[in-house]
């Protein structure tokens, strides 16, 4: 039995700690009363229970639970999760105040205990405080890794990886074999990133090859999304009996070991005098070793692979699910691509074609509206008390921006539950962080640094899949019966994978 399997499956459950909490109950009641008086200027919210606050109202799909609560208490709402104050935003205008007007006050993240155990929050560009090191890494990602020039220079490798996906789908087509759309998209995303970073593939198309790495990513992100007792009751931080076996620590360590080996192999090749200049990200960072340590590199790779593979593959799976559920939409998207490809000798979509595929762009936007990769973005933290909308957001409060709720708000979108890419054809709304109605990748200085790469990947992969193949569901499943249930984590997954059989057009 391996290390991960030895951990209890439900280490996040709270029952084993009730005895400890009962000992602290009288003190907690007193603190609760004092806190209630002190926080009379908080935004409105549901009245919580002593000690646990509003924890019971959080549910296993908190983005949905908090969306319902916001309709009663308002689009700026406060909750108590344990002893911690959480502010929930469900309005574009209020979000703009937080992430634009008061951007500096909310630059820092609110890392969960699972992230802090291995000190990952000190090295990850996602979680670290907005200081000099964060600015250095941010500049590296923005000006070098994901700049337009760098992405243009690496377009060929992405095209090659998409063609490998098309070949795999074609084999499944010939064999009349069902494929898992999410798993295939994950393999493609993983190999695009690994070649961009290291000039190697990390997976092949097949259940065993990709599954190990995908499981590590999903388990690490799901563990990081669920609050443990020390997150809810900071007084328990030093008493946490799970600190040495917290699952996030195990999964992250395994991923870091993979990156350590890749870095060490490249360093050894260099020290042996072998000329293997790859012009990839690893070479770029090794050439600047005075600025970046190996620890900086391994944690940056950990962050980028966790964020880049899972979010892209889940978005592609949601997009394919919505298109197959709506046959007239996939026909419309395919017709647009086919028309453009008539004048293309090789018949393959290139990144320069994206600007001409307006309906395909609308499909991606509509998918991100209904199924944002991170329903709350990454939680932020107030550096100090901030006055917003006549209320006080207190220092150290956790900030959750419910972009899932904003994407389904009837005050913003007509027929918000319907998949209608057409809504984006006549309006200039994009997801680049300027239009706060649609910010699946965040906004302000801490928005996703890999947005430009994700944008290219989403369009060329989805466009290739609908241009080259038609799709039918397994068994007698009708398009309207596709299970669209969600599985909550830092990223929003489909609860049931999309299994389809490709067919030649």
Strand arrangement, sheet containing 499-504: 179-180, 499-504, 469-473
Residues 356 and 389 both lie in one domain: no
Report whether 227 contacts 60 (CB < 8 A): no
pLDDT at res. 8: 44
Average pLDDT, the chain: 86
DSSP 427: S
pLDDT mean over 244-264: 77
Which domain, by its residues, includes 69? 14-106+375-407
Taking the C-alpha atoms of residue 156 and residue 163, their distance in angstroms, rounded to an integer, is 11
pLDDT at res. 207: 62
Report whether 98 contacts 401 (CB < 8 A): yes
- Least confident interval from 47-61, 180-194, 449-463: 47-61
- Whether 445 shows a pLDDT value over 50: the answer reads yes
Residues 168 and 220 both lie in one domain: yes
Residues 237 and 350 both lie in one domain: yes
- Least confident interval from 26-40, 103-117, 404-418: 26-40
Structure tokens at 206: 């097949």
Q: What percent of the chain has pLDDT over 70?
A: 84
Q: How many CB atoms lie within 10 A of CB 416?
A: 16
Q: pLDDT: is 104 or 40 the higher one?
A: 104
Residues 169 and 66 both lie in one domain: no
Long-range contacts of 304-308 (CB under 8 A, 24+ apart): 304/193, 304/197, 304/450, 305/190, 305/193, 305/194, 305/217, 305/255, 306/217, 306/220, 306/221, 306/255, 307/126, 307/448, 307/450, 308/189, 308/193, 308/450, 308/453, 308/454
pLDDT at res. 321: 98
Residue 236 lies in a domain: yes
Q: pLDDT: is 252 or 348 the higher one?
A: 348
Residues 89 and 147 both lie in one domain: no
Residue 132 lies in a domain: yes
HSE value, Cβ hemisphere, 13 Å, CA-based, for 151:
18
pLDDT in tens, 317-341: 999 999 999 999 999 999 999 999 9
- Whether 224 shows a pLDDT value over 70: the answer reads no
- Least confident interval from 205-214, 332-341, 380-389: 205-214
Q: How many CB atoms lie within 10 A of CB 329?
A: 21
Taking the C-alpha atoms of residue 449 and residue 146, their distance in angstroms, rounded to an integer, is 7
Residue 2 lies in a domain: no
Residue 286 lies in a domain: yes
Residues 72 and 191 both lie in one domain: no
Residues 301 and 380 both lie in one domain: no
Residues 359 and 379 both lie in one domain: no
Is 448 assigned to a binding site? Answer: yes
- Whether 249 shows a pLDDT value over 80: the answer reads no
Residues 45 and 176 both lie in one domain: no
Q: What are the beta bridge partners of residue 87?
A: 78, 399
- Whether 497 shows a pLDDT value over 80: the answer reads yes
Residues 137 and 199 both lie in one domain: yes
Residue 437 lies in a domain: no
Closest CA to 216 of 227, 224, 206: 224
Residues 158 and 208 both lie in one domain: yes
Report whether 183 contacts 309 (CB < 8 A): no
| Residue 184: partners with Cβ closer than 8 Å, 6 or more residues away | 165, 168, 169, 205
CATH of the domain at 301: 1.10.630.10
CATH of the domain at 90: 3.30.43.20
Residue 460 lies in a domain: yes
Residues 354 and 217 both lie in one domain: yes
Q: CA distances (Å), 251 to each of 73, 192, 246, in order?
A: 38, 22, 9
Taking the C-alpha atoms of residue 326 and residue 323, their distance in angstroms, rounded to an integer, is 5
Strand, coil or helix: what is 80?
strand
- Whether 290 shows a pLDDT value over 90: the answer reads no
pLDDT at res. 115: 74
Closest CA to 51 of 280, 229, 189: 229
Strand, coil or helix: what is 475?
coil
pLDDT at res. 394: 97
pLDDT at res. 237: 54
Residue 441 lies in a domain: no
Report whether 480 contacts 207 (CB < 8 A): no
pLDDT in tens, 61-87: 999 999 999 999 999 999 998 888 999
Taking the C-alpha atoms of residue 329 and residue 423, their distance in angstroms, rounded to an integer, is 13
Closest CA to 110 of 474, 456, 380, 444: 380
pLDDT at res. 300: 93
Residue 308 lies in a domain: yes
pLDDT in tens, 78-114: 999 888 899 999 999 999 999 999 999 999 998 877 7
Q: How many domains does the structure of the chain reveal? A: 2
Q: pLDDT: is 449 or 217 the higher one?
A: 449
């Amino acid at each position: 039995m391996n290390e991960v399997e030895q951990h209890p499956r439900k280490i996040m459950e709270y029952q084993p700690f009730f005895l400890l909490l009962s000992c602290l109950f009288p003190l907690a009641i007193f603190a609760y009363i004092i806190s209630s008086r002190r926080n009379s200027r908080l935004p409105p919210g549901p009245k919580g229970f002593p000690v646990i606050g509003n924890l019971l109202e959080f549910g296993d799909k908190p983005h949905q639970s908090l969306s319902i609560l916001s309709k009663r208490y308002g689009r700026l709402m406060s909750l108590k999760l344990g002893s911690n104050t959480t502010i929930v935003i469900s309005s574009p205008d209020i979000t703009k105040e937080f992430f634009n007007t008061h951007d500096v006050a909310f630059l820092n993240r609110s890392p969960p205990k699972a992230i802090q155990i291995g000190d990952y929050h000190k090295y990850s560009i996602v979680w670290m405080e907005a200081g000099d090191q964060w600015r250095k890494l941010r500049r590296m990602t923005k000006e070098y890794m994901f700049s337009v020039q760098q992405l243009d220079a690496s377009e060929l490798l992405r095209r090659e990886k998409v063609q490998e996906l098309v070949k795999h789908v074609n084999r499944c087509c010939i064999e009349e074999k069902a494929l898992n759309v999410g798993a295939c998209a994950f393999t493609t995303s993983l190999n695009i990133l690994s070649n961009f970073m290291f000039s190697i593939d990390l997976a092949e198309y097949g259940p065993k090859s990709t599954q190990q790495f995908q499981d590590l990513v999903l388990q690490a992100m799901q563990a990081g999304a669920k609050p443990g007792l020390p997150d809810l009751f900071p007084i328990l931080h030093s008493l946490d009996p799970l600190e040495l076996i917290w699952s996030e620590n195990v999964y992250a360590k395994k991923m870091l070991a993979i990156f350590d080996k890749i870095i060490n192999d490249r360093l050894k090749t260099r020290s042996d005098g072998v000329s293997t200049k790859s012009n990839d990200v690893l070479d770029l960072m090794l050439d600047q070793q005075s600025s970046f340590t190996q620890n900086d590199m391994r944690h940056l790779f950990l962050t980028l692979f966790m964020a880049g593979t899972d979010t892209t593959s889940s978005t592609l799976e949601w997009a394919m699910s919505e298109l197959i559920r709506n046959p007239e939409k996939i026909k419309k998207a395919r017709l647009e691509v086919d028309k453009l490809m008539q004048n293309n000798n090789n018949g393959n979509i290139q990144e320069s074609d994206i600007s001409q595929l307006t309906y395909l762009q609308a499909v991606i936007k509509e998918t991100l509206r209904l199924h944002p990769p991170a329903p709350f973005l990454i939680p932020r933290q107030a550096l100090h008390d901030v006055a917003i909308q006549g209320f006080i957001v207190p220092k150290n409060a956790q900030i959750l921006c419910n972009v899932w709720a904003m994407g389904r708000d009837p005050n913003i979108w007509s027929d918000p539950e319907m998949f209608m890419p057409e809504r984006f054809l006549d309006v200039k709304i994009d997801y680049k962080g300027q239009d706060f109605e649609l910010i699946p990748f965040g906004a302000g200085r801490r928005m996703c640094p890999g947005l430009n790469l994700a944008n290219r990947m989403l369009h060329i992969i989805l466009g290739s899949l609908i241009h080259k193949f038609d799709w039918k569901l397994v068994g007698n499943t009708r398009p309207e019966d596709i299970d669209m249930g969600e599985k909550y984590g830092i990223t929003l997954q489909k609860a049931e994978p999309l299994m389809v059989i490709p067919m030649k057009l």
